[in-house]
Structure 1
Amino acid sequence: MNITDNLAKDLVIHELQASDKSEVLKELVSTLKDAGLEVDVENALKVLNDREKLGTTGIGDGIAIPHGKLECLEEIVVVVGRSSEGVDFESLDMQPCKIFFMVLAPEQGAGAHLKVLAQISRQLKDEAFRQAFIDTGDKQELLKLLGLN
């Protein structure tokens, strides 16, 4: 399984406009709707916010991986976002998050959902990859780094 298997070019945001946690989640979810996917934005936000109440998905090292399950989905979708300024995501290390991978999975897809989260986590453990991600100058550069060029 590759990080790009559930990722599409139109689901990559080179520079998030959001400046707080709830705005980031809304911007990431809205990207699905903008890309033409049939997603109930309010329901998706509720799922993500409910997950955040259990514990932050800001895992440290400038990374957040908000995730959840939606009945309306038939396959896993991943939205990637970058914030050069960083956003307070209540991260475990109390540092602002600059790298966002939102993962939404179908209700009945637990095994695949966990594999995608593990793959993303493995990729993001690479400090050189994280720094290259943050340093990308434009969307094309970010797409190339993600293997979507």
Structure 2
Amino acid sequence: MKIIDLLDPAAISADLQASTKAEVLGELTDALMRVEPSLDRDEVVAILQEREQLGSTGIGDGVAIPHGKLRKLDKLLISFGRSRGGIDFDSMDGRPAQLFFLLVAPEESVGVHLKTLARISKLLKNPSVRQALLDAEDAESIYGIIARQEESL
């Protein structure tokens, strides 16, 4: 399944205001709730924070992919956020994260969840893609970059 099939343009935050990891998780959850308002914000944030306590989802190169699983969910949900200034996310390389994909999956899903994480990682491994996302003017441009890059994955 393609990222673009799961990412609604309304769930893209081109200019995150957060300055801490906890604030990023909240803002990305808010972006998700723009397309799935039935979510319980506190529950989503708590699950994401629990996952972060197991180990940071900051994978390095300015990228973080916070994720978690929810019991009452029937499909995988994704939001995207960008922080031009970067946010300390306890990333493996010690550098601030600027590009964030948030995934929330149904509790019993394994395959689709892992395949989507792998697809996002593959997309963001490319330095020119990361730079294009950082340079994009707005959410619509970000969506277009992801769509075009996915064609080559």
Q: TM-score, normalised by structure 1?
A: 0.95
> Partner amino acid for 1:122?
K
Residue of structure 1 equivalent to 2:117:
117
CA apart distance, 1:110: 1.1
Report the alpha carbon displacement of residue 36 of structure 1 after superposing the two structures with TM. Answer: 4.1
For the aligned residues, what is the CA RMSD? 1.2
Which stretches in structure 2 are left out of the alignment for 5+ residues?
A: 149-153
SS of the residue 1:68 aligns to: strand
Separation (CA, whole Å) in 1 of partners of 2:139 and 2:12: 8
Instruction: Output the CA distance in 1 between the equivalents of 2:11 and 2:34.
Output: 9
Distance 1:86 1:115 in 2: 26
The ranges of structure 1 where at least 4 consecutive aligned residues each deviate by more than 3 angstroms after the TM superposition are none
Deviations, residues 64-116 of structure 1 (Å, cap 9, x unaligned): 00000001211000100011110111111110100000000001111110011
AA of the residue aligned to 1:56? S
Q: CA-to-partner distance for each residue in 1:106-147, whole Å, 9 max, x for gaps? A: 011111100110110111111110110111122222121122
> Which amino acid in 1 is paired with 2:128?
A
- 1:82 corresponds to: 82
Give 1:63-142 correspondences, 5 Å limit.
Answer: 63-142=63-142
Partners of 2:104 and 2:140 in 1: how far apart? Answer: 24
Note if 1:19 corresponds to 2:13: no
Q: Is 1:35 matched up with 2:39? A: no
Percent identity between matched residues is 43
Query: How many correspondences in the alignment?
Result: 148
Task: Identify the residue that residue 58 of structure 1 maps to in structure 2.
Answer: 58
Give SS of 1:82's match: strand
- Give the structure 2 partner of residue 10 of structure 1: 10
| Gaps in structure 1 of 5+ consecutive residues | none
- TM-fit CA distance, 1:30: 1.4
- SS of equivalent to 1:147: helix
In structure 2, distance between residues paired with 1:10 and 1:140? 9
Q: Deviations over 1:14-39 (max 9, x none)?
A: 11111110000001111222334311
Q: How many Å separate the matches in 2 of 1:112 and 1:85? A: 32
Q: CA deviation at 1:44?
A: 0.7
